[in-house]
Structure 1
Amino acid sequence: MELTKRITQDGREEFYDIIPPDHKAYCKECVCHNVIGGKVVCRRDKLCNVKHEISIREKKAKEEEEKKPKVIIYSRVSTEKQTLEQQERTVNEWLKDHNMTATQEVSDEGVSGGVTYKDRNLGKIVLPMLKKGDTLIVSEVSRIGRSMSDINKFVNDELKPRGVRLVIVQMGIDLDCAHLRAIDEMLLFAFSFSAQMEKELIQERTQSALDVRKKKLEEDGQFISSKSGKVVTKLGRPKKSDLSAARTAAAERRKKEAAEKPCNKAIWAIVRQCTNNFTELTKSNFSQASYTLQQMGIMSSTGKVLTLERVRNAYYNLRTVYEDRVNLRRDSADYRIMREKGMSDSDIKQYYKNLNNNINNNNQDIERKEEE
Protein backbone atom coordinates (compact mmCIF):
# COMPACT_ATOMS: atom_id res chain seq x y z
CA MET A 1 0.00 0.00 0.00
CA GLU A 2 1.06 3.59 -0.58
CA LEU A 3 2.36 5.52 2.41
CA THR A 4 1.76 9.06 3.63
CA LYS A 5 2.47 10.95 6.83
CA ARG A 6 1.34 13.91 8.89
CA ILE A 7 2.83 16.01 11.67
CA THR A 8 0.86 16.04 14.94
CA GLN A 9 0.38 19.15 17.07
CA ASP A 10 3.20 18.09 19.38
CA GLY A 11 5.57 17.74 16.39
CA ARG A 12 5.54 13.94 16.07
CA GLU A 13 5.40 12.18 12.71
CA GLU A 14 2.55 9.71 12.17
CA PHE A 15 2.65 7.34 9.23
CA TYR A 16 -0.47 6.10 7.47
CA ASP A 17 -1.36 3.58 4.77
CA ILE A 18 -3.60 4.95 2.01
CA ILE A 19 -6.67 2.70 1.70
CA PRO A 20 -7.78 1.92 -1.91
CA PRO A 21 -11.21 3.39 -2.87
CA ASP A 22 -12.90 -0.03 -3.07
CA HIS A 23 -12.14 -0.67 0.63
CA LYS A 24 -13.10 2.73 2.08
CA ALA A 25 -16.55 1.54 3.21
CA TYR A 26 -15.03 -1.08 5.52
CA CYS A 27 -12.93 1.51 7.38
CA LYS A 28 -15.69 3.86 8.56
CA GLU A 29 -16.23 2.10 11.90
CA CYS A 30 -12.53 1.51 12.58
CA VAL A 31 -10.88 3.71 15.22
CA CYS A 32 -7.56 3.55 13.34
CA HIS A 33 -8.87 5.27 10.23
CA ASN A 34 -8.47 8.96 9.38
CA VAL A 35 -8.87 11.28 6.42
CA ILE A 36 -5.84 13.20 5.08
CA GLY A 37 -6.06 15.32 1.96
CA GLY A 38 -9.37 13.73 1.01
CA LYS A 39 -7.90 10.20 1.20
CA VAL A 40 -8.97 7.52 3.69
CA VAL A 41 -5.90 6.34 5.59
CA CYS A 42 -5.10 3.88 8.37
CA ARG A 43 -2.36 3.97 11.01
CA ARG A 44 0.76 2.27 9.69
CA ASP A 45 1.43 0.52 13.00
CA LYS A 46 -2.07 -1.01 13.19
CA LEU A 47 -3.27 -4.18 11.49
CA CYS A 48 -6.94 -4.82 10.74
CA ASN A 49 -8.88 -7.24 8.55
CA VAL A 50 -9.08 -4.72 5.69
CA LYS A 51 -5.32 -4.13 5.58
CA HIS A 52 -4.67 -7.85 5.96
CA GLU A 53 -6.92 -8.54 2.97
CA ILE A 54 -5.24 -5.77 0.94
CA SER A 55 -1.74 -7.08 1.75
CA ILE A 56 -2.74 -10.62 0.67
CA ARG A 57 -4.24 -9.26 -2.56
CA GLU A 58 -1.13 -7.16 -3.31
CA LYS A 59 1.13 -10.13 -2.62
CA LYS A 60 -0.87 -12.31 -5.02
CA ALA A 61 -0.86 -9.54 -7.65
CA LYS A 62 2.93 -9.22 -7.32
CA GLU A 63 3.37 -12.98 -7.67
CA GLU A 64 1.14 -13.01 -10.74
CA GLU A 65 3.09 -10.10 -12.24
CA GLU A 66 6.38 -11.94 -11.69
CA LYS A 67 4.96 -15.02 -13.42
CA LYS A 68 4.04 -13.03 -16.53
CA PRO A 69 6.53 -13.37 -19.40
CA LYS A 70 8.78 -10.34 -19.81
CA VAL A 71 9.28 -8.51 -23.10
CA ILE A 72 12.76 -6.97 -23.21
CA ILE A 73 14.06 -4.62 -25.90
CA TYR A 74 17.81 -4.45 -26.51
CA SER A 75 19.38 -1.68 -28.62
CA ARG A 76 22.98 -0.79 -29.42
CA VAL A 77 24.91 1.93 -31.25
CA SER A 78 28.63 1.87 -31.92
CA THR A 79 29.44 5.57 -31.49
CA GLU A 80 28.28 8.44 -29.29
CA LYS A 81 27.20 10.39 -32.41
CA GLN A 82 24.60 7.73 -33.29
CA THR A 83 21.17 7.56 -31.62
CA LEU A 84 18.84 4.72 -30.66
CA GLU A 85 15.78 6.47 -32.09
CA GLN A 86 15.52 4.48 -35.34
CA GLN A 87 15.90 1.13 -33.56
CA GLU A 88 13.31 2.09 -30.93
CA ARG A 89 10.85 3.21 -33.61
CA THR A 90 11.26 -0.06 -35.55
CA VAL A 91 10.74 -2.24 -32.47
CA ASN A 92 7.82 -0.17 -31.13
CA GLU A 93 5.99 -0.46 -34.46
CA TRP A 94 6.39 -4.24 -34.30
CA LEU A 95 5.11 -4.31 -30.70
CA LYS A 96 2.10 -2.20 -31.67
CA ASP A 97 1.27 -4.49 -34.59
CA HIS A 98 1.40 -7.54 -32.28
CA ASN A 99 -0.49 -5.90 -29.36
CA MET A 100 2.49 -6.29 -27.03
CA THR A 101 4.10 -3.95 -24.51
CA ALA A 102 7.75 -3.84 -23.50
CA THR A 103 8.42 -4.44 -19.82
CA GLN A 104 12.10 -3.46 -19.95
CA GLU A 105 14.45 -1.57 -22.28
CA VAL A 106 18.23 -2.02 -22.15
CA SER A 107 20.80 -0.40 -24.43
CA ASP A 108 24.52 -0.06 -25.10
CA GLU A 109 25.70 3.32 -26.42
CA GLY A 110 29.13 3.82 -27.93
CA VAL A 111 29.90 0.07 -27.84
CA SER A 112 31.13 -1.80 -30.92
CA GLY A 113 29.42 -5.00 -32.06
CA GLY A 114 32.87 -6.57 -32.05
CA VAL A 115 32.81 -6.53 -28.24
CA THR A 116 31.53 -9.88 -26.96
CA TYR A 117 27.99 -9.89 -25.52
CA LYS A 118 29.38 -10.95 -22.12
CA ASP A 119 31.15 -7.58 -21.78
CA ARG A 120 28.09 -5.56 -22.78
CA ASN A 121 24.78 -4.83 -21.07
CA LEU A 122 23.34 -7.62 -23.21
CA GLY A 123 25.21 -10.15 -21.09
CA LYS A 124 25.46 -8.22 -17.82
CA ILE A 125 21.88 -6.93 -17.52
CA VAL A 126 19.63 -8.64 -20.07
CA LEU A 127 20.64 -12.30 -19.66
CA PRO A 128 20.18 -12.44 -15.84
CA MET A 129 16.59 -11.16 -16.30
CA LEU A 130 15.58 -13.73 -18.93
CA LYS A 131 13.70 -16.90 -18.02
CA LYS A 132 11.52 -19.45 -19.81
CA GLY A 133 8.78 -17.83 -21.89
CA ASP A 134 10.35 -14.34 -21.97
CA THR A 135 10.85 -12.46 -25.24
CA LEU A 136 13.98 -10.61 -26.34
CA ILE A 137 13.50 -8.14 -29.22
CA VAL A 138 16.20 -6.47 -31.33
CA SER A 139 15.82 -4.43 -34.52
CA GLU A 140 18.44 -6.42 -36.45
CA VAL A 141 20.88 -9.25 -35.79
CA SER A 142 23.93 -6.94 -35.88
CA ARG A 143 22.66 -5.33 -32.64
CA ILE A 144 23.41 -8.65 -30.90
CA GLY A 145 26.89 -8.65 -32.39
CA ARG A 146 28.97 -8.76 -35.56
CA SER A 147 30.79 -12.02 -34.87
CA MET A 148 29.23 -15.28 -36.12
CA SER A 149 30.74 -17.29 -33.27
CA ASP A 150 29.56 -14.77 -30.64
CA ILE A 151 25.99 -14.71 -32.01
CA ASN A 152 25.95 -18.53 -32.19
CA LYS A 153 27.13 -18.80 -28.55
CA PHE A 154 24.57 -16.24 -27.43
CA VAL A 155 21.65 -18.11 -29.02
CA ASN A 156 22.70 -21.72 -28.38
CA ASP A 157 24.49 -21.36 -25.03
CA GLU A 158 22.35 -18.63 -23.43
CA LEU A 159 18.87 -18.29 -25.00
CA LYS A 160 18.26 -21.94 -25.89
CA PRO A 161 18.75 -23.36 -22.34
CA ARG A 162 16.56 -20.57 -20.94
CA GLY A 163 13.74 -21.22 -23.44
CA VAL A 164 13.61 -17.59 -24.61
CA ARG A 165 11.80 -16.24 -27.66
CA LEU A 166 14.07 -14.13 -29.92
CA VAL A 167 12.56 -11.60 -32.32
CA ILE A 168 14.74 -9.86 -34.93
CA VAL A 169 12.34 -7.32 -36.41
CA GLN A 170 13.92 -6.15 -39.68
CA MET A 171 14.77 -9.72 -40.72
CA GLY A 172 11.28 -10.98 -39.88
CA ILE A 173 12.76 -13.66 -37.60
CA ASP A 174 10.70 -14.95 -34.66
CA LEU A 175 12.47 -17.87 -32.96
CA ASP A 176 11.47 -20.15 -30.10
CA CYS A 177 15.04 -20.80 -29.01
CA ALA A 178 13.99 -23.79 -26.89
CA HIS A 179 12.92 -25.63 -30.08
CA LEU A 180 15.24 -24.42 -32.83
CA ARG A 181 14.62 -26.11 -36.18
CA ALA A 182 17.20 -26.65 -38.90
CA ILE A 183 15.66 -23.87 -41.01
CA ASP A 184 15.84 -21.48 -38.02
CA GLU A 185 19.53 -22.20 -37.49
CA MET A 186 20.19 -21.79 -41.21
CA LEU A 187 18.49 -18.34 -41.26
CA LEU A 188 20.36 -17.27 -38.15
CA PHE A 189 23.64 -18.46 -39.69
CA ALA A 190 22.93 -16.51 -42.89
CA PHE A 191 22.12 -13.26 -41.12
CA SER A 192 25.02 -13.54 -38.65
CA PHE A 193 27.33 -14.26 -41.62
CA SER A 194 25.99 -11.08 -43.27
CA ALA A 195 26.62 -9.05 -40.07
CA GLN A 196 30.22 -10.27 -39.83
CA MET A 197 30.85 -9.69 -43.55
CA GLU A 198 29.49 -6.14 -43.20
CA LYS A 199 31.90 -5.54 -40.32
CA GLU A 200 34.84 -6.79 -42.41
CA LEU A 201 33.79 -4.61 -45.36
CA ILE A 202 33.65 -1.57 -43.08
CA GLN A 203 37.15 -2.37 -41.84
CA GLU A 204 38.41 -2.77 -45.43
CA ARG A 205 36.88 0.56 -46.51
CA THR A 206 38.36 2.27 -43.47
CA GLN A 207 41.82 0.83 -44.20
CA SER A 208 41.53 1.79 -47.89
CA ALA A 209 40.63 5.39 -47.00
CA LEU A 210 43.52 5.47 -44.54
CA ASP A 211 45.97 4.27 -47.20
CA VAL A 212 44.77 6.99 -49.59
CA ARG A 213 45.30 9.67 -46.94
CA LYS A 214 48.76 8.37 -46.08
CA LYS A 215 49.70 8.55 -49.75
CA LYS A 216 48.34 12.12 -49.97
CA LEU A 217 50.43 13.14 -46.97
CA GLU A 218 53.56 11.60 -48.51
CA GLU A 219 53.01 13.36 -51.86
CA ASP A 220 51.43 16.71 -50.88
CA GLY A 221 52.04 16.95 -47.12
CA GLN A 222 48.34 17.47 -46.48
CA PHE A 223 44.78 16.48 -47.48
CA ILE A 224 41.26 17.90 -47.08
CA SER A 225 39.07 16.09 -44.54
CA SER A 226 35.84 14.88 -46.19
CA LYS A 227 33.92 15.36 -42.92
CA SER A 228 35.13 18.70 -41.58
CA GLY A 229 36.51 20.23 -44.78
CA LYS A 230 39.64 21.24 -42.87
CA VAL A 231 43.24 20.88 -44.05
CA VAL A 232 44.90 17.94 -42.23
CA THR A 233 48.69 17.64 -42.04
CA LYS A 234 49.00 14.48 -39.92
CA LEU A 235 47.04 11.36 -39.04
CA GLY A 236 46.09 10.07 -35.61
CA ARG A 237 43.48 10.62 -32.95
CA PRO A 238 42.89 14.19 -31.76
CA LYS A 239 44.72 15.41 -28.71
CA LYS A 240 43.12 14.38 -25.44
CA SER A 241 41.97 17.93 -24.77
CA ASP A 242 40.37 18.18 -28.23
CA LEU A 243 38.65 14.83 -27.81
CA SER A 244 37.40 15.82 -24.37
CA ALA A 245 36.02 19.09 -25.76
CA ALA A 246 34.24 17.24 -28.57
CA ARG A 247 32.64 14.80 -26.12
CA THR A 248 31.58 17.65 -23.86
CA ALA A 249 30.03 19.50 -26.79
CA ALA A 250 28.17 16.35 -27.90
CA ALA A 251 26.88 15.80 -24.35
CA GLU A 252 25.71 19.41 -24.13
CA ARG A 253 23.93 19.09 -27.47
CA ARG A 254 22.08 15.95 -26.33
CA LYS A 255 21.22 17.66 -23.05
CA LYS A 256 19.77 20.66 -24.89
CA GLU A 257 17.72 18.42 -27.20
CA ALA A 258 16.31 16.52 -24.21
CA ALA A 259 15.47 19.78 -22.40
CA GLU A 260 13.47 21.02 -25.41
CA LYS A 261 11.27 17.92 -25.75
CA PRO A 262 7.66 18.78 -24.80
CA CYS A 263 7.12 15.47 -22.98
CA ASN A 264 10.21 16.05 -20.79
CA LYS A 265 9.07 19.60 -19.96
CA ALA A 266 5.62 18.29 -18.98
CA ILE A 267 7.02 15.47 -16.82
CA TRP A 268 9.38 17.85 -14.99
CA ALA A 269 6.62 20.42 -14.36
CA ILE A 270 4.04 17.90 -13.11
CA VAL A 271 6.51 16.07 -10.85
CA ARG A 272 7.58 19.44 -9.40
CA GLN A 273 3.93 20.26 -8.73
CA CYS A 274 3.04 16.86 -7.19
CA THR A 275 6.15 16.59 -4.98
CA ASN A 276 6.04 20.09 -3.50
CA ASN A 277 8.98 21.37 -5.54
CA PHE A 278 10.82 18.00 -5.34
CA THR A 279 10.89 17.95 -1.52
CA GLU A 280 8.47 15.00 -1.08
CA LEU A 281 9.61 12.26 -3.46
CA THR A 282 7.18 9.59 -2.22
CA LYS A 283 5.59 6.73 -4.11
CA SER A 284 2.12 8.25 -3.67
CA ASN A 285 3.27 11.59 -5.12
CA PHE A 286 4.88 9.89 -8.14
CA SER A 287 1.64 7.94 -8.55
CA GLN A 288 -0.31 11.21 -8.56
CA ALA A 289 2.11 12.64 -11.15
CA SER A 290 1.65 9.55 -13.32
CA TYR A 291 -2.16 9.84 -13.10
CA THR A 292 -2.05 13.56 -13.98
CA LEU A 293 0.22 13.03 -16.98
CA GLN A 294 -2.00 10.22 -18.27
CA GLN A 295 -5.08 12.43 -17.92
CA MET A 296 -3.27 15.12 -19.92
CA GLY A 297 -2.49 12.57 -22.65
CA ILE A 298 1.28 12.98 -22.23
CA MET A 299 3.32 9.98 -23.43
CA SER A 300 7.00 9.16 -23.04
CA SER A 301 9.50 10.13 -25.75
CA THR A 302 9.15 6.60 -27.16
CA GLY A 303 5.34 6.76 -27.16
CA LYS A 304 4.73 4.67 -24.02
CA VAL A 305 2.19 5.26 -21.24
CA LEU A 306 3.78 7.10 -18.32
CA THR A 307 3.36 4.59 -15.49
CA LEU A 308 4.57 5.31 -11.95
CA GLU A 309 7.93 3.59 -12.59
CA ARG A 310 8.48 5.42 -15.89
CA VAL A 311 7.69 8.78 -14.30
CA ARG A 312 10.05 8.11 -11.40
CA ASN A 313 12.85 6.95 -13.73
CA ALA A 314 12.25 9.93 -16.01
CA TYR A 315 12.53 12.33 -13.05
CA TYR A 316 15.90 10.95 -11.96
CA ASN A 317 17.18 11.01 -15.57
CA LEU A 318 15.93 14.56 -16.14
CA ARG A 319 17.74 15.86 -13.06
CA THR A 320 20.91 15.91 -15.17
CA VAL A 321 19.03 17.87 -17.86
CA TYR A 322 17.27 20.54 -15.80
CA GLU A 323 19.66 20.69 -12.82
CA ASP A 324 23.41 21.14 -12.63
CA ARG A 325 24.24 17.69 -11.31
CA VAL A 326 27.02 15.19 -11.98
CA ASN A 327 25.80 11.60 -11.71
CA LEU A 328 27.85 8.54 -10.92
CA ARG A 329 28.08 6.23 -13.95
CA ARG A 330 29.93 2.97 -13.44
CA ASP A 331 30.50 2.58 -17.19
CA SER A 332 32.22 5.97 -17.50
CA ALA A 333 35.95 6.56 -18.04
CA ASP A 334 36.11 8.72 -14.87
CA TYR A 335 34.76 5.87 -12.73
CA ARG A 336 37.25 3.41 -14.25
CA ILE A 337 40.18 5.78 -13.63
CA MET A 338 39.11 6.27 -9.99
CA ARG A 339 38.91 2.50 -9.45
CA GLU A 340 42.35 2.07 -11.03
CA LYS A 341 43.67 4.61 -8.53
CA GLY A 342 42.41 2.37 -5.70
CA MET A 343 39.28 4.32 -4.72
CA SER A 344 36.42 2.20 -3.33
CA ASP A 345 32.77 2.53 -4.37
CA SER A 346 31.95 4.42 -1.17
CA ASP A 347 34.87 6.84 -1.76
CA ILE A 348 33.66 7.53 -5.32
CA LYS A 349 30.05 8.07 -4.13
CA GLN A 350 31.29 10.54 -1.50
CA TYR A 351 33.35 12.35 -4.15
CA TYR A 352 30.28 12.82 -6.37
CA LYS A 353 28.19 13.87 -3.36
CA ASN A 354 30.72 16.57 -2.42
CA LEU A 355 30.96 17.67 -6.05
CA ASN A 356 27.18 18.15 -6.33
CA ASN A 357 27.09 19.98 -2.98
CA ASN A 358 29.74 22.40 -4.28
CA ILE A 359 27.72 22.94 -7.48
CA ASN A 360 24.57 23.68 -5.43
CA ASN A 361 26.47 26.10 -3.17
CA ASN A 362 27.94 27.92 -6.19
CA ASN A 363 24.49 28.21 -7.78
CA GLN A 364 23.06 29.62 -4.54
CA ASP A 365 25.89 32.18 -4.36
CA ILE A 366 25.19 33.24 -7.95
CA GLU A 367 21.44 33.59 -7.25
CA ARG A 368 22.17 35.62 -4.07
CA LYS A 369 24.48 37.99 -5.97
CA GLU A 370 21.89 38.45 -8.71
CA GLU A 371 19.23 39.33 -6.11
CA GLU A 372 21.57 41.88 -4.50
Structure 2
Amino acid sequence: MANYGYLRVSTDQQDVLNQKHGVLEYANKNGFAGMTFIEDNVSGKKPWQDRELGRVLLEQTIEGDTLVVSEVSRLARSTLQVLEILKHCSERLINLHIAKNNMRFDDSMQSRITATVLGMAAEIEREFISSRTKEALAARKAAGVKLGRPQGKAEKLKLDVFKDEIQKYLNLGLSKAAIAKIVGCPATTLYDYCRIRKMKKK
Protein backbone atom coordinates (compact mmCIF):
# COMPACT_ATOMS: atom_id res chain seq x y z
CA MET A 1 0.00 0.00 0.00
CA ALA A 2 1.25 3.49 -0.86
CA ASN A 3 1.69 6.38 1.57
CA TYR A 4 1.18 9.94 0.31
CA GLY A 5 1.90 13.30 1.92
CA TYR A 6 -0.01 16.32 0.64
CA LEU A 7 1.53 19.81 0.50
CA ARG A 8 -0.20 22.93 -0.74
CA VAL A 9 2.61 25.03 -2.11
CA SER A 10 2.54 28.80 -1.62
CA THR A 11 4.99 31.65 -2.17
CA ASP A 12 6.06 31.25 1.47
CA GLN A 13 8.77 28.58 1.30
CA GLN A 14 8.96 28.37 5.09
CA ASP A 15 5.27 27.43 5.20
CA VAL A 16 5.87 24.57 2.76
CA LEU A 17 8.80 23.32 4.85
CA ASN A 18 6.64 23.46 7.98
CA GLN A 19 3.94 21.42 6.26
CA LYS A 20 6.47 18.82 5.13
CA HIS A 21 8.04 18.61 8.58
CA GLY A 22 4.62 18.08 10.18
CA VAL A 23 3.70 15.34 7.72
CA LEU A 24 7.04 13.52 8.07
CA GLU A 25 6.98 13.73 11.87
CA TYR A 26 3.47 12.26 11.95
CA ALA A 27 4.41 9.58 9.40
CA ASN A 28 7.44 8.50 11.46
CA LYS A 29 5.37 8.27 14.65
CA ASN A 30 2.78 6.11 12.92
CA GLY A 31 5.11 3.91 10.89
CA PHE A 32 4.26 5.22 7.42
CA ALA A 33 7.38 4.52 5.37
CA GLY A 34 8.33 5.69 1.89
CA MET A 35 6.18 8.82 1.70
CA THR A 36 5.39 10.10 -1.80
CA PHE A 37 4.66 13.83 -1.69
CA ILE A 38 1.88 15.47 -3.69
CA GLU A 39 2.53 19.18 -4.29
CA ASP A 40 -0.24 21.55 -5.36
CA ASN A 41 0.80 24.89 -6.81
CA VAL A 42 -2.73 26.14 -7.48
CA SER A 43 -5.10 27.92 -5.13
CA GLY A 44 -7.06 25.89 -2.60
CA LYS A 45 -10.15 27.72 -3.89
CA LYS A 46 -9.96 25.74 -7.14
CA PRO A 47 -12.14 22.57 -7.08
CA TRP A 48 -10.14 19.73 -5.56
CA GLN A 49 -10.94 17.50 -8.54
CA ASP A 50 -9.05 19.94 -10.81
CA ARG A 51 -5.92 20.03 -8.66
CA GLU A 52 -3.02 17.60 -8.33
CA LEU A 53 -4.66 16.28 -5.17
CA GLY A 54 -7.74 15.34 -7.20
CA ARG A 55 -5.69 13.67 -9.92
CA VAL A 56 -3.94 11.45 -7.39
CA LEU A 57 -7.10 10.63 -5.40
CA LEU A 58 -9.19 9.94 -8.50
CA GLU A 59 -6.64 8.17 -10.71
CA GLN A 60 -3.76 6.88 -8.63
CA THR A 61 -4.80 5.80 -5.14
CA ILE A 62 -6.28 2.39 -4.40
CA GLU A 63 -8.01 0.80 -1.42
CA GLY A 64 -5.77 0.77 1.64
CA ASP A 65 -3.52 3.67 0.57
CA THR A 66 -2.80 6.41 3.11
CA LEU A 67 -2.87 10.19 2.66
CA VAL A 68 -1.35 12.46 5.34
CA VAL A 69 -1.94 16.23 5.37
CA SER A 70 -0.50 18.69 7.90
CA GLU A 71 -3.83 20.34 8.74
CA VAL A 72 -7.38 20.29 7.42
CA SER A 73 -7.21 23.82 5.95
CA ARG A 74 -4.57 22.59 3.49
CA LEU A 75 -7.06 20.30 1.76
CA ALA A 76 -9.30 23.13 0.53
CA ARG A 77 -10.45 26.66 1.33
CA SER A 78 -14.13 25.79 1.75
CA THR A 79 -15.89 23.50 4.20
CA LEU A 80 -17.87 21.91 1.38
CA GLN A 81 -14.75 20.85 -0.53
CA VAL A 82 -13.17 19.41 2.62
CA LEU A 83 -16.31 17.37 3.28
CA GLU A 84 -16.31 16.10 -0.31
CA ILE A 85 -12.67 14.97 0.00
CA LEU A 86 -13.39 13.14 3.27
CA LYS A 87 -16.42 11.44 1.71
CA HIS A 88 -14.41 10.39 -1.36
CA CYS A 89 -11.61 8.90 0.75
CA SER A 90 -14.14 7.00 2.85
CA GLU A 91 -15.89 5.55 -0.20
CA ARG A 92 -12.57 4.51 -1.78
CA LEU A 93 -11.27 3.14 1.56
CA ILE A 94 -8.31 5.53 1.46
CA ASN A 95 -6.95 6.26 4.95
CA LEU A 96 -6.80 10.02 5.53
CA HIS A 97 -4.75 11.39 8.44
CA ILE A 98 -4.68 15.06 9.54
CA ALA A 99 -1.42 15.44 11.46
CA LYS A 100 -1.93 18.69 13.38
CA ASN A 101 -5.34 17.63 14.72
CA ASN A 102 -4.30 13.98 15.18
CA MET A 103 -7.42 12.94 13.26
CA ARG A 104 -7.70 9.79 11.20
CA PHE A 105 -10.33 8.53 8.81
CA ASP A 106 -9.62 4.85 8.14
CA ASP A 107 -11.60 1.66 7.55
CA SER A 108 -12.87 1.47 11.14
CA MET A 109 -16.62 1.49 11.72
CA GLN A 110 -16.40 4.77 13.66
CA SER A 111 -14.57 6.47 10.79
CA ARG A 112 -17.10 5.18 8.26
CA ILE A 113 -20.00 6.49 10.34
CA THR A 114 -18.25 9.86 10.73
CA ALA A 115 -17.53 10.07 6.99
CA THR A 116 -21.15 9.18 6.18
CA VAL A 117 -22.39 11.99 8.42
CA LEU A 118 -19.89 14.40 6.84
CA GLY A 119 -21.06 13.32 3.39
CA MET A 120 -24.64 14.11 4.37
CA ALA A 121 -23.49 17.47 5.74
CA ALA A 122 -21.78 18.22 2.41
CA GLU A 123 -24.98 17.44 0.51
CA ILE A 124 -27.04 19.64 2.82
CA GLU A 125 -24.49 22.47 2.52
CA ARG A 126 -24.57 22.15 -1.29
CA GLU A 127 -28.37 22.41 -1.27
CA PHE A 128 -28.25 25.45 1.03
CA ILE A 129 -25.75 27.21 -1.23
CA SER A 130 -27.84 26.46 -4.33
CA SER A 131 -31.05 27.58 -2.60
CA ARG A 132 -29.51 30.81 -1.26
CA THR A 133 -28.07 31.65 -4.68
CA LYS A 134 -31.42 31.15 -6.43
CA GLU A 135 -33.30 33.13 -3.78
CA ALA A 136 -30.81 36.01 -3.92
CA LEU A 137 -30.98 36.18 -7.72
CA ALA A 138 -34.80 36.06 -7.68
CA ALA A 139 -34.95 38.83 -5.07
CA ARG A 140 -32.56 41.05 -7.02
CA LYS A 141 -34.50 40.47 -10.22
CA ALA A 142 -37.80 41.30 -8.48
CA ALA A 143 -36.23 44.50 -7.14
CA GLY A 144 -35.30 45.51 -10.66
CA VAL A 145 -31.57 44.97 -10.25
CA LYS A 146 -29.88 44.26 -13.55
CA LEU A 147 -28.18 40.89 -13.34
CA GLY A 148 -24.94 39.94 -15.06
CA ARG A 149 -21.47 41.44 -15.14
CA PRO A 150 -21.52 45.01 -13.76
CA GLN A 151 -20.30 47.91 -15.86
CA GLY A 152 -16.90 49.28 -14.91
CA LYS A 153 -14.48 47.92 -12.38
CA ALA A 154 -16.10 46.72 -9.15
CA GLU A 155 -14.20 46.55 -5.89
CA LYS A 156 -13.68 42.88 -5.05
CA LEU A 157 -11.96 41.42 -2.02
CA LYS A 158 -10.23 38.05 -1.81
CA LEU A 159 -12.63 36.71 0.82
CA ASP A 160 -15.78 37.66 -1.10
CA VAL A 161 -16.03 34.06 -2.36
CA PHE A 162 -16.52 32.99 1.28
CA LYS A 163 -18.87 35.83 2.26
CA ASP A 164 -21.97 33.65 2.79
CA GLU A 165 -19.94 31.02 4.60
CA ILE A 166 -18.36 33.63 6.91
CA GLN A 167 -21.75 35.16 7.69
CA LYS A 168 -23.15 31.71 8.48
CA TYR A 169 -20.40 31.01 11.00
CA LEU A 170 -20.76 34.48 12.54
CA ASN A 171 -24.47 33.79 13.04
CA LEU A 172 -23.59 30.47 14.69
CA GLY A 173 -21.45 32.38 17.20
CA LEU A 174 -18.01 31.22 16.05
CA SER A 175 -15.10 33.53 16.79
CA LYS A 176 -13.40 35.32 13.90
CA ALA A 177 -10.18 33.46 14.72
CA ALA A 178 -11.98 30.11 14.36
CA ILE A 179 -13.63 31.20 11.11
CA ALA A 180 -10.25 32.30 9.74
CA LYS A 181 -8.92 28.77 10.28
CA ILE A 182 -11.92 27.25 8.49
CA VAL A 183 -11.58 29.41 5.37
CA GLY A 184 -7.77 29.24 5.47
CA CYS A 185 -6.66 32.83 5.99
CA PRO A 186 -4.87 34.82 8.72
CA ALA A 187 -7.14 36.04 11.51
CA THR A 188 -6.12 39.66 10.83
CA THR A 189 -7.29 39.32 7.23
CA LEU A 190 -10.70 38.09 8.36
CA TYR A 191 -11.03 40.88 10.95
CA ASP A 192 -10.26 43.48 8.25
CA TYR A 193 -12.68 41.85 5.82
CA CYS A 194 -15.55 41.85 8.34
CA ARG A 195 -14.83 45.50 9.16
CA ILE A 196 -14.80 46.56 5.50
CA ARG A 197 -17.92 44.55 4.64
CA LYS A 198 -19.58 45.56 7.95
CA MET A 199 -20.25 41.91 8.80
CA LYS A 200 -21.33 40.81 12.27
CA LYS A 201 -23.59 38.28 13.97
CA LYS A 202 -27.23 38.74 12.95
TM-score by length of 2: 0.56
Question: Identity rate of aligned residues, in percent?
Answer: 25
Q: How does 1:205-220 map to 2 (within 5 A)?
A: 205-207=191-193
**For the Cα contact (< 8 Å) 2:105–2:112, is it kept in 1?**
no
Do residues 100 (structure 1) and 86 (structure 2) align?
no
Name the aligned partner's letter for residue 155 of structure 1. L
Amino acid at match of 1:196: I
Instruction: Please tell me whether residue 86 in structure 1 is matched to residue 86 in structure 2.
Output: no
After TM superposition, list the pairs within 5 Å mapping 1:272-283 onto structure 2.
none
Determine if the alignment matches structure 1 residue 164 to structure 2 residue 133: no
Which runs of no fewer than 5 residues in structure 1 stay unpaired? 1-68, 212-372
Tell which has more relative contact order, 1 or 2 (C-alpha 8 A, sep 6+): 2
Residue 172 of structure 1, CA deviation: 0.6
For the pair 1:142 / 2:128, whether they are aligned, the reply is no
Q: Which runs of structure 2 are paired with 1:215-364 in the superposition (5 Å)?
A: none
Structure 1 equivalent of residue 7 of structure 2 = 75
- Rounded to whole Å, the distance in 2 between the matches of 1:183 and 1:161 is 12
- 1:305 aligned partner: none
Report the TM-score, using the length of structure 1 for normalisation. Answer: 0.32
Partners of 1:116 and 1:102 lie apart in 2 by 28
Three-state SS of the structure 2 residue aligned to 1:75 is strand
Change (3 A) 1:194 1:183: farther
Alpha-carbon separation, structure 1, partners of 2:72 and 2:117: 14
Q: Rg larger in 1 or in 2? A: 1
Distance 1:155 1:182 in 2: 12
Q: 1:131 aligns with which of 50, 62, 66?
A: 62
- State whether residues 130 and 164 of structure 1, in contact with CA within 8 Å, keep that contact through their aligned partners in structure 2: yes
User: What residue is the counterpart of 1:118 in the other structure?
Assistant: 49
Give me the whole-angstrom Cα distance separating, in 1, the residues matched to 2:113 and 2:13.
Answer: 36
* In 2, Cα distance between equivalents of 1:194 and 1:146: 10
C-alpha displacement at 1:74, in angstroms? 0.6
The reply on whether 1:204 has 2:190 as its aligned counterpart is yes
CA distance in 1 between counterparts of 2:7 and 2:69 reads 6
Is it true that 1:175 corresponds to 2:161 in the alignment? no
Alpha-carbon shift at residue 119 of structure 1 (Å)? 2.0
1:126–1:107 Cα change, 3 Å: farther
What do residues 227-248 of structure 1 show as CA deviations (whole Å, max 9, x unaligned)?
A: xxxxxxxxxxxxxxxxxxxxxx
In the alignment, is the contact (CA less than 8 A) between 1:133 and 1:165 conserved in 2?
yes
Cα distance change, pair 205–131 in 1 and its aligned pair in 2 (3 A): same
AA at the equivalent of 1:113: G
Contact 2:180/2:190 (8 A) holds in 1:
no
What residue is the counterpart of 2:86 in the other structure? 155
Q: Deviations over 1:299-356 (max 9, x none)?
A: xxxxxxxxxxxxxxxxxxxxxxxxxxxxxxxxxxxxxxxxxxxxxxxxxxxxxxxxxx
Query: In the aligned structure 2, how far is the partner of 1:160 from the partner of 1:183?
Result: 9
Give the aligned residue type for 2:193.
Q
Change (3 A) 1:118 1:183: closer
| CA contact 2:90–2:105 (8 Å) conserved in 1 | no
Aligned residues: 139
Q: 1:202 to 1:177 in 2, by over 3 A?
A: farther
- Quote how far apart the aligned CAs of 1:203 are: 5.0
Q: CA deviation at 1:178?
A: 7.4
1:95 and 1:204, CA in 2 relative to 1: closer, same or farther beyond 3 A? closer
Supply the AA of the counterpart residue of 1:118.
Answer: Q
